[in-house]
Amino acid sequence: MIEVLVNGACGRMGSTVANAVREAEDLHLAACVDIHAASPEGGDTYLGTPYFKGLQTALEAIKPDVVVDFTHPSVVADNIRTALAAGVATVVGTTGLSEETLAELSAAAPEVPLFVAPNFTTGAVLMMAFSAVAAKYFPDCDIIELHHDGKADAPSGTAIRTARMIAANRVQASTAPGKETELDGYEGARGADVDGVHVHSVRTAGHVASQEVIFGSLGQTLTIRHDSIDRASYMPGVLLAVREVRKHPGLTVGLEKLMDL
């Protein structure tokens, strides 16, 4: 039985993760942490488990096998630092961290497993893999990512990772007009430039998470799209990471590393 602590347990994703862990036969929801908890010492309960306001206090009291973090980009680095310092394997679904920050955090505790995924849905992982293949044949590419209006970062972690995978596999760079063609007063029309791939972020009520990768070449286009209709779509990937993270010391990025791709 794997003892799991969920950090950010009252959030949209955190509450879904906590319930998924609670329902898994081989996992035990050992504790929940959220800034909305009334008691910093774990005197309350949430989903039938001890409920803490602070991660450090929870780690000292519970000593879980794995911490799962779905909190906020502004606090996730400190959360990772706290968990790794305690020697606890950590699974991170909070996006917004740079590759440099992740490497720095992992270097401080190089033997402690740290798993980070820009997206935990298997369909999104396949979308990224297919896009990397298509990049060899289609020089022009734009990414449109659509998320709910509460998402705290833009572009999404999925879009950034997709763009970098495309850039790494391109045979030739796009010659399509870029930011230099944006009219004065309308800067941003071509979106964010991620390693030469333009990324456009949409934030509206009604979406969970969607991404289109639009490729173009002479006389043809190719669109690869993934939609998450419900946050339940993330749970198989999150639970896979919880079960596998302790087998991989150090930093691992991307759910594809745990899938047979």
- CATH (domain of 83): 3.40.50.720
Nearest to 169 by CA among 142, 206, 195, 203: 195
Q: Label residue 39 by pLDDT band (50, 70, 90).
A: low
pLDDT tens digit string along 53-96? 999 999 999 999 999 999 998 999 999 999 999 999 999 999 88
Q: Label residue 37 by pLDDT band (50, 70, 90).
A: confident
Rounded-to-integer distance, Cα 241 and Cα 258, Å: 7
Average pLDDT for the chain: 93
Q: Which of 53, 63, 72, 147 is catalytic?
A: 147
Average pLDDT on 95-114 reads 91
Are the beta carbons of 210 and 145 closer than 8 angstroms?
Answer: yes
Q: Label residue 43 by pLDDT band (50, 70, 90).
A: low
- Alpha helices per DSSP H over 119-192: 122-134, 157-169
Nearest to 16 by CA among 175, 213, 201, 231: 231
Are the beta carbons of 120 and 129 closer than 8 angstroms?
Answer: no
Three-state SS for 70?
A: coil
**Could you tell me if 140 and 223 lie in one domain?**
yes
Q: Is the pTM of this model over 0.85?
A: no
Rounded-to-integer distance, Cα 29 and Cα 21, Å: 6
Residue 249's CB is within 10 A of a number of other CB atoms, namely 15
Please determine, for residue 242, whether its predicted confidence score (pLDDT) is greater than 80.
yes
Active site residue 147: yes
Three-state SS for 241?
A: helix
Q: The domain containing residue 183 runs over which residues?
A: 122-229
**Could you tell me if 79 and 163 lie in one domain?**
no
Q: Which of 53, 136, 148, 151 is catalytic?
A: 151
Average pLDDT on 118-138 reads 95
- Alpha helices per DSSP H over 3-97: 12-23, 55-62, 76-85
**Could you tell me if 111 and 150 lie in one domain?**
no
- How many CA atoms lie within 13 Å of 255's alpha carbon, on the beta-carbon side? 28
Residue 56's CB is within 10 A of a number of other CB atoms, namely 16
Residue 251 bridge partners (DSSP): 114
Active site residue 207: no
**Could you tell me if 6 and 109 lie in one domain?**
yes
pLDDT tens digit string along 183-226? 999 999 999 999 999 999 999 998 989 999 999 999 999 999 99
**Could you tell me if 98 and 25 lie in one domain?**
yes
Q: What is the per-residue pLDDT for 96? A: 81
Continuous segment of H or E residues that includes residue 49: strand 49-52
Nearest to 135 by CA among 102, 174, 99, 105: 174
Rounded-to-integer distance, Cα 16 and Cα 152, Å: 18
Number of domains in the chain: 2
Three-state SS for 22?
A: helix
**Could you tell me if 164 and 99 lie in one domain?**
no
Calculated CA dihedral for residues 23, 26, 29, 30, nearest 10 degrees? 160
Q: Label residue 173 by pLDDT band (50, 70, 90).
A: confident
**Could you tell me if 170 and 240 lie in one domain?**
no
SS3 annotation, 173-233? CCCCCCHHHCCCCCCCCCCEEECCEEEEEEECCCCCEEEEEEEEECCEEEEEEEEECCHHH
